[in-house]
Structures are given as C-alpha cells and as structure tokens.
Amino acid sequence: MSEEIQPNEGSAQAEDFRPVLPGGTIGLVGGGQLGRMFGIAARRMGYRVHTLEASPDSPAGQISDVEVTANYDDLEKLSAFAAAVDVVTFEFENIPVAPLEAVEEIRPVLPRPGILHICQNREREKEFLVRHGFPCAKHRTVSSAAEAAAAAAAMGFPCVIKTADFGYDGKGQSKLGSAAEAADAWNKLGAPRAVLEEWVDYRCEISVVCARDASGRVECFTPSENIHRNHILHRSIVPARVDDAVAREAGYLAVRIARTLDLVGVLAVEFFVRRDGTLLINELAPRPHNSGHFSFDACVTSQFEQQLRAVCGQPLGSPRLLSPVVMVNLLGEAWENGEPNWAALLSDPDVKLHLYGKKGPRSGRKMGHFCVLKPTIEDACRAADEAEARLLGRKRS
C-alpha cells in the first residue's frame, strides 16, 4: 500500500533539517502512555529521552532518562528542557502552542506547532479540511445558545454538538434531538465556541496512521476498524473489515492530508465509512494514536518507531502487517473487583499485554491494552472475546 502512494516532493523543512543519530536525545512534551511507548521505541534504538510533564512519575517519565516536572506553559523550564535535547516532539494535542513556538527558537519541534494549532481545535480542523477539499460532515460553528439552537434546527435532528477546543474520548460533545437540547447542551459545554455537525449514518469507523519524513516519503499502516464504548475506543480490528477500495481511499486521503500539512512525524486520520462505502473524515491527530497500538506487536515497524525515525531524520521503516490482530483497551473498570486475572489473560500465548504504569485506576481511564495475534481476523476477534472474559472472570455469553 505504501509503495503505491508515496509522494515525491520533500518537506519545506527538509533543507534546514539536521538528522539526529542514535545516541542523541529526544525531548518529549507530555508524559502519557503514548509517550511511554514512544520512549520504549527510542530507548531500543539507542536514543536518550527527556520527558516534560506536569505530574511526576508519569508513564513516559518512568522509562525516560530525565523527567522534568513542569507545566507546559512554564517558559523557563521549557527553555532549559529544550536546550538539553536535540529535537522536541509531543505525544498529545492538549499543549499550548505558544510555548512550543518559543521552544522552536531553541530546537526543532516536530511536527511543527502550526499543525498542532490546527488539529487541537475542531473549528480550525474543519476549516482546513474544507479549504483543501477533503470530505467531512456538514457543520456550522456556533458561539451562543441561541446560535446552537438555530443551527441545530437548520441542520436537522439528530445532530451533534462538540466543543471547538480540546476534545477527546467523547468529552465535550453531545447528541441532540431538539433545539431545546441544543441550547441546554451549549450551556453545559461551558465553552466560547462549538461545532455543530450533522449526524452521520455510518457503517463503521476506521482510522489510518501514516508517517511522513522531511524528504516527503510517506508510509501508511493498514487501516484499523474501531469499536467504541461510551465514546472511548474499546477495540481495534486490523485489517479493518472493509472493501479493499475503501482501505485504499482512506490511505490516499491520509497521505494527501500529511502532504498538505507538510507534516514531519506521525498523523492519525479517523474516518466514518458511510453505508454507500464513501468516507468522511472525522478527526486528525498529529501523533501516535490509540487505534495504532496494534503496530507495536503486529507490524515490522510500530507507529512509535515511525514517529522517532521521522523526527530524527532517519529512514522510515516498513509498516507491513505481520498478522491479523485485535487490540483491546483496558480501562479502570477492569479493576473494580480487584486485580484483573493476568495469568488467565496470558494463558493464550498469542496475547501481548501492555500496562502503562498508571496509579489509581478509575472509570474511563486507560490503564493498558492487550493485543491478540491470530492467523485470521475471525480467530483474533474470537480470541479477544475469550481473553477479555478470562481477564475479568466472566463466562462468555
């Protein structure tokens, strides 16, 4: 797939880009599980990792050479942090852009902060997609309860309202069934602006993670089919159970978006697959993605290693899928009745477990995940059901 869709032109950043060789030091802003897995990939390839995170003993900090505890907008600590590394990257979107732009004066920041600025705000993200002709749901931006009610009535019901800024895992969004619900939802959002979207009657949700380097080369991972519970990703099935034409189109769109953004790093593109097989882009994330966790175990090169290779100016690896796989998220609810039964989970030798080092499980908190690799996707889905039931001490219904 990647061989068919690689662009030829290089990034505008390529001329000024100096590769960071193994033995160099990567600065990682954000200390969550994505940073932890990025750090594991970096350490394996001989890089040092410095993490900056507001809370000590973070998942990424636990495996880093240096953990700096500071707020993301602490310019003094950020500047000292940047001066001690060779290149800076980040592991989630909820980071103020202005401090990263200041860091850019000291060290390269990849992906560039301008891409983060687009992707951390739904209004700007939709404007980018529409301006460049990418398919997305019909939408309107609203800035008051009255505007929300009027826009919802014009859009038709059901529809969805989402905060413009900083939303993930279903936070800051509500399904609407009437204009009155729209006004009430606006008041509950507590945000200055929101995006109202049409309700999409989709068959399934898929995502594509792609990596692009400073020379313009792009590599795409196999699309994953994503199943959510309570707006949080529950499992990803890879390869996605869609037609080959749909998978190819998703890859083409992901590559076009990465090229248009002039991305150096990793980009995840989430899609709705409509009943007729056409695609609508739901969200963009300029970093590794929960739906790409399968790549750690089931691909020649993981999404985390691709991020590392891209931001360090090293050749990208192959994203080739080695085996059908199902990834299952482990949320805090798995600990409700005590410690989960890890031995029962691991009794299947084709299960790979990843725990994130978080303390204090709570409802909805991502504590880890496991992957099941099998010869067919049907086998992997069945084995994932059985493994989850064993882990939680349940009988399969």
Q: What mean pLDDT value characterizes the chain?
A: 93
Q: Which amino acid is at 255?
A: V
Contacts of 314 (CB under 8 A, 6+ apart): 19, 213, 308
pLDDT for the residue numbered 172: 72
Q: Pick 19-107's CATH classification: 3.40.50.20, 3.40.50.2300, 1.20.58.340, 1.20.120.50.
A: 3.40.50.20
In this prediction, residues 195-215 reach a mean pLDDT of: 96
- Residue 15 pLDDT greater than 80, yes or no: no
Local confidence band at 167 (pLDDT 50, 70, 90 cut-offs): low
pLDDT for the residue numbered 7: 40
Fold of the domain spanning 138-198: Dna Ligase; domain 1 (3.30.1490)
pLDDT digits (tens, 9 = 90+) for 330-343: 999 999 999 999 99
Q: Is the pTM for the entire model greater than 0.85? A: yes
Q: Which amino acid is at 327?
A: M
pLDDT for the residue numbered 14: 54
Local confidence band at 187 (pLDDT 50, 70, 90 cut-offs): confident
Local confidence band at 190 (pLDDT 50, 70, 90 cut-offs): confident
Looking at the chain, the domain(s) classified CATH 3.40.50.20 span 19-107
Looking at the chain, the domain(s) classified CATH 3.30.1490.20 span 138-198
